[in-house]
Structure 1
């Protein structure tokens, strides 16, 4: 019994310690963006690294996701002669849920792991200590640019994912199942709303924030040499992915609460 209580207490302390560190690092990273010097080149570099380099894999994933939605819904809608409503289902599903979540998970796997590994390597090789010796704030230099560019990149990638996913659904519906394209587009316009897009973009911005802060946090507190870098990278990807799914539910619930 005592061992169980010790295990629970240890887990609670570790949980609170992690989120306490996360909160402090996040606040510092956000506020330090407004302190000079502002290194715009680093922002541009990370925007290209996180955003532009992730575009091909997200575009491919989104195209086939939209196509799969059309394939799965066609059978049910065909029974009611309502195939032309597939477009609305694809558009709303991608905009509100699939585009932000898939984009965030792919960025986590690709860029979040890279953030944790790079910063973790700098930590164990004492490069972060060297930055401090040169009077360079490591949070401002390493984490702040990644934080802001991740929010922007995931938001833009989600918007692109919406468009590409809808195109995937259109191609499958119109060219494979020969759905009337005029009705397909008209019912999409009638049923899908801009609120659906805003819903997904809000999620995307939050997900981008979570990816950058959690990944950088694990990298920043890495210990134990090369093995520690590997463990931090794995934990960063797993924790970020779980956080994305949990916050996906919370954001959806809050937006539903306010009828958004």
Structure 2
């Protein structure tokens, strides 16, 4: 019994230690924002990796998510003669939840894992210690450009994914013989139901998720140890932890923004 309580206590202390270290890293990164003009090239390089290079995968994901959403809901709505509101359902689903969450998962799996691996390699091979020796702040040089890039690119990708998903839903709604909703009806239903406030709430979520991805992946990268095996463990850990925190944050943000 004593051993079990001791193990539980160690886990609780470790959890709070990690949260504290992540908050310190976030504070240090935000404080280094004033140095952003000097690191503009690094920021644009990270934006290209996180944003531009993710566009093809985001396009495929969003298009088929929109199509599947329209197909599943449209067939069910057709049974009750309510398929004319399918545009509103697809739009609400993409803007409120699927767009921000699925896009953030995609960025975390694709770009976030690369962040953790790159910083982890630098930590294992003592390149971060070399930066400190040269009086270069690792937080300013590594974490700050990635955080700014995520805060900019994730909301932009979410807007793009929302549009592609809505287009995919419109195509299926028009072409599927069981549903057959005209583009005009689809568009009218979408515009009547979708308000600017909901779009804004989706972008708030996207910005928060982008910050979570950058913070978690940079923190895990900085804490990497143990050679090649440690790099692989850190990469996996960064993605899993990002997914979990995105879902937790999604719940609390949804409650806050309702």
Given the two structures, how large is their TM-score scaled by the length of structure 2? 0.97
Q: Find the residue that maps to 2:225 and give its secondary structure.
A: coil
Tell me whether 1:159 sits opposite 2:163 in the alignment. Answer: no
- The unaligned stretches of length 5 or more in structure 2 are none
Q: What is the CA deviation profile of residues 139-179 of structure 1, one whole-angstrom value per residue up to 9, with x for unaligned ones?
A: 10001000010111110000001100000000000122321
Task: Output aligned runs, 1:1-260, within 5 Å.
Answer: 1-35=1-35, 38-176=38-176, 177-256=179-258
Taking a change above 3 Å as real, the CA distance of residues 119 and 82 of structure 1, as seen in their structure-2 partners, is same
Q: Quote how far apart the aligned CAs of 1:194 are.
A: 1.4
Alignment root-mean-square deviation, CA: 1.1
Given the two structures, how large is their TM-score scaled by the length of structure 1? 0.96
Counterpart Cα distance in 1 of 2:251 and 2:145: 28
- Runs (4 or more) in structure 1 with deviation over 4 Å come to none
Q: Quote how far apart the aligned CAs of 1:34 are.
A: 0.2
Counterpart Cα distance in 2 of 1:187 and 1:123: 53
Q: Quote how far apart the aligned CAs of 1:36 are.
A: 7.1
Q: Find the residue that maps to 2:151 and give its secondary structure.
A: helix
Counterpart Cα distance in 2 of 1:103 and 1:20: 27
Contact 2:46 2:149 in 1 (8 A): yes
Q: Find the residue that maps to 1:38 and give its secondary structure.
A: helix
Contact 2:59 2:161 in 1 (8 A): yes
Q: Quote how far apart the aligned CAs of 1:106 are.
A: 0.5
Worse-superposed segment, 37-46 or 89-98: 37-46
Q: What is the CA deviation profile of residues 38-73 of structure 1, one whole-angstrom value per residue up to 9, with x for unaligned ones?
A: 211101100001111111111110101011111111
- The unaligned stretches of length 5 or more in structure 1 are none
Q: What is the CA deviation profile of residues 198-243 of structure 1, one whole-angstrom value per residue up to 9, with x for unaligned ones?
A: 1111000000000000000010011111111111111111101000
Q: Quote how far apart the aligned CAs of 1:76 are.
A: 2.1
Counterpart Cα distance in 1 of 2:189 and 2:124: 56
Counterpart Cα distance in 2 of 1:241 and 1:252: 16
Contact 2:36 2:145 in 1 (8 A): no
Q: Quote how far apart the aligned CAs of 1:37 are.
A: 6.5
